[in-house]
Structure 1
């Protein structure tokens, strides 16, 4: 069922007075006959929680003997189809699916691995690993080691272990030590000791890391992000920065991810869809607030100016309001 306790900062919640059969009938009606009526599809799917959407899919099969997702795929196309199918994917499966498809076939989409593995908490990572194994018959770690290399691979493997210290655990005695170790491993060293960065950033609790970052600033006169920027490069740099930003603020990290997906020429729609869908029941309200604060414009306005058609309508409804 819906993830209680955690979903309070989402824009999408359980729909009151929900009736799966009625919704299934409304969707069938929207797709039956000549042409598809996209408006009811958008309105209905964006206003039901993921758990409710799964119930609608079951009702659809029971009533009509048809697979709802397959019907939607055959009636819709392009980015609109992609966002609707993402919304119809069980939440627990969605991350595993995205990780799998980032590694399948020729080339690896490192940004997807970075975004998901750097931002999910220990419980979420444990869940992803379990579902990945069930769905694809292999360990997530094995897929990662088969598809990546070097220190980038090592950091991903550390994150996938999901053995970060429990939330709230702060080892006061080692805050100074960790900050000094990071300083010695980077700014003070000729070359960089990546292992030290990987161990500390990959295993300490988020609360502990925030204190380490403050201490690091005092010792070095730099923000840890500036040092990572100077000391590392490529995918490893992106991954370490994502871990640091997520430790500081997960909504802040996603606000920046969304902004980067839309700024400049061309929009990275895959990222836009993934973040909007996967955070819609978790913390999209907080992401909106951070977005407004950090970039001086509302997420809603930026989506409006960067997307069009039914695809745009879907994202705007998920966004759930303006922050101007």
Structure 2
């Protein structure tokens, strides 16, 4: 028999450990890049320092959100958890822990490249900083989605009376945890390329900035599908089907792993187009059209995973 108290405290530990490890790795990488950039261009040390400080602050988003969740689990819920409640709390831990770990690492990517870009283009530092903040903020989107799902799970804990209901909420958190990995990596890699490209050719900034916003939306599309499935699972805890718990876990794994390849490969397409825009800004129109079309085709794979997950959950 699984001890609910063990799952409860293990969930709290998973959240804070994974989020802090990811943020620590990201902070180390960003700090090293800032120091290397200052060595390359000592005259730009003030601009590089400002970019690194802002970047480090954004990297800390994951552990801050994780800390809020564990304080809620420790202080707000003072009663001894039952097994269904402990399973749901494990879903919170898997969602926020996995997403925070990946998000903390990839959040450093744009900061790293921005520091080197400022070393090359010190008089263009403000625009480079703006691009870095925009891309890093977009990278935090999976964390916001997971945090919202975690809050939804938390406020339904008092309604849990059966193991299958606990499994449903655990699946909801697992769905977002696994489903955020591919898009998070994709957003980080694309943000790194965008900042690097502007550092190579500052005249391409006016083209790369809007392209970054559009491509970020495509890369995030699989994450939105995972969020949709997660919300459907959250509203399914009163389902009387005896197999609904197992079906929910399977649906979460389906859409979760189904976002891996689309999220990462969509960013590869966008990154390639971004590099070409820096080398040949006059070809922006053709490059953006081809990139958007290709990213739309890539995201079709995530649609198949979404449909399959919905069939698993909704069809009997």
- When the two structures are superposed, what TM-score results if normalisation uses the length of structure 1? 0.20
